[in-house]
Amino acid sequence: MAEKITVEIISIGDEILYGQILDTNSQWLGETLTSAGFHVVHRTSVGDTSQAIANALKAAQSRANIILTTGGLGPTKDDITKKTIASYFNVDMQMVPEVLEHIRGLLASRGRTLNDLISQQALMPTNGRVMHNRTGTAPGMWFEHEGHVFASMPGVPSEMKTIFAEEILPALKQKFKPPVIIHSKIKTLGVPESVLANMIEPWEDALPSHIKLAYLPSEERVMLRLTGTGQSKEALEKELAEQVALLTPYIEPHIFAYGEDDMEDVVARMLKERGLTLGVAESCTGGMISHVLTRKAGASDYFKGGVIAYSNAVKTSALGVKNDVLDRVGAVSEESAHDMALGARLALGVDIALSVTGVAGPDGGSDAKPVGTVFIGLSTAQGTFARKFSFAKVRRLNMVLATQNALFMLIKHLKDNK
């Protein structure tokens, strides 16, 4: 195997050290670099002092081929990264006319004009190459020094990501020619990591050595990620697709999505393909299902609305759940979930309705219906049914699990009824 191409990420700013912000930049860079075949070996965060930044650059140069910095490129006096870098390389700063023009245009589009302070954003160390910042005023910068590449980006996440993806990563690939790395993701719900591992053991044991499997569990689901390393993108893509096809039969009922899709993306695609409309009746999820369905654009094509029936009175008045059901078996029951789904479908005039009623906690549990007891219902013109689930002890997690399982129930129903 070829020599690893090593990277160190340095994030700059007192606000990181003091915990005022989460360093999402370093995480995103780590993930993006790893996916592209680079090897992140160290991360450092330092405050807004020249000494700390210079020391960090020097130490990083002893560890990595590539040194990336984020932060400290703003126009105020706190922002000293650029001056410190110039001094580290022992060069002067010069005004870069193309950057100044870009800044002038950007300000003009916001109805503002250039002033002395902002003009300084167009100053750069003389040994630097501009990495164009399409969305902001602080240019990214590329330096080559003693056999190392240094690249510097502003700390605003959207600007950092744009500069890195559009300018710096292509330049790094061209210079260092990392191996081709391809990922495939398989997303599962409802089965713990250790159980999944048992189920797929024969397949995993037969994986070739250049394809690695990682289990990436979050609290509500487990993502399997295949990583193939090689020289040919096409050959790797074909091999990974074959491996995913071999894996699928072992765990098919638990797979809700492949690739970058979330649960709601799969729901959206299936409903749009069939021209079906959806509505929801939510009790213990309190609006989370509607929120998850609508947070991505285009939901109005299939999602028509919902009833948040948090109180029993609303379950009765808006969804037609009978008082007899609420008195006899309670709002948290299969019958109530059934009637809520049916009532929502009729009241909202949709093809399919989902319903959720349960005990999210921390209060409201009983011996018969402990916290985490949730009923999920589904209604179509062909019929209505509801199913009982037992989730977790924590309110937020119960809401997430109820939401994800309700949408997964819909996906399974659509698959089974083509």
Point out which residues bind its own copies (CB under 8 A): 16-24, 26-34, 40-47, 52, 59, 214, 216, 279-280, 282, 286-291, 293-295, 297-300, 303-311, 313-314, 317-318, 347-349, 361-363, 395-396, 399
The dihedral formed by the CA atoms of 43, 47, 52 and 53, expressed in degrees to the nearest 10: 70
**Judged by CB, which is closer to its own copies: 303, or 408?**
303
- Cα distances (angstroms) measured from residue 271 to each of 300, 402, 407, 412, 414: 11, 20, 12, 12, 8
Q: Which residues does residue 8 pair with via DSSP β-bridges, in sequence order? A: 42, 67
Least distance between its own copies and beta carbon 12 (Å): 11
Residue listed under structure tokens 């989460």: 22
Taking the complex as a whole, the smallest distance from the CB of residue 348 to its own copies amounts, in Å, to: 6
Q: Which is nearer to its own copies, 198 or 232 (CB)?
A: 198
State in angstroms the smallest separation of the CB of 218 from its own copies. 9
Nearer to its own copies, 234 or 363 (CB): 363
Between residues 20 and 90, which has the closer beta carbon with respect to its own copies?
20
Phi/psi at 245 (5° precision): -65, -35
- DSSP assignment letter at 277: -
Instruction: Give the span between the Cα atoms of 328 and 312, in whole angstroms.
Output: 13
Among the listed residues 159, 169, 232, the one whose alpha carbon sits nearest the alpha carbon of residue 36: 169
Shortest reach from residue 31's CB to its own copies, in Å: 3
CB nearer its own copies, residue 248 or residue 330: 330
Closest separation in Å from C-beta 39 to its own copies: 9
- 326, 334 Cβ separation under 8 angstroms: no
Task: List the structure tokens of 286.
Answer: 């309190």
Separation of alpha carbons 45 and 52, rounded Å: 9
Of the pair 17, 270, the CB lying nearest its own copies is at 17
**Least spacing, CB of residue 35 vs its own copies, in Å:** 9
The CA distances from residue 213 to 180, 200, 205, 237, 257, in Å, are 17, 11, 10, 15, 17
CA angle 159, 161, 103 (to 5 degrees): 25
Q: For residues 23 and 159, which CB has a smaller minimum distance to its own copies in the complex?
A: 23
Distance CA 77, CA 140 (A): 19
Shortest spacing between CB 227 and its own copies, in angstroms: 10
Q: Which is nearer to its own copies, 107 or 347 (CB)?
A: 347
- 68 close to 8: Cβ distance less than 8 angstroms: yes
- Least separation in angstroms between residue 266's CB and its own copies is 18
Given a contact cutoff of 8 angstroms between Cβ atoms, the answer to whether 50 and 72 are in contact is no
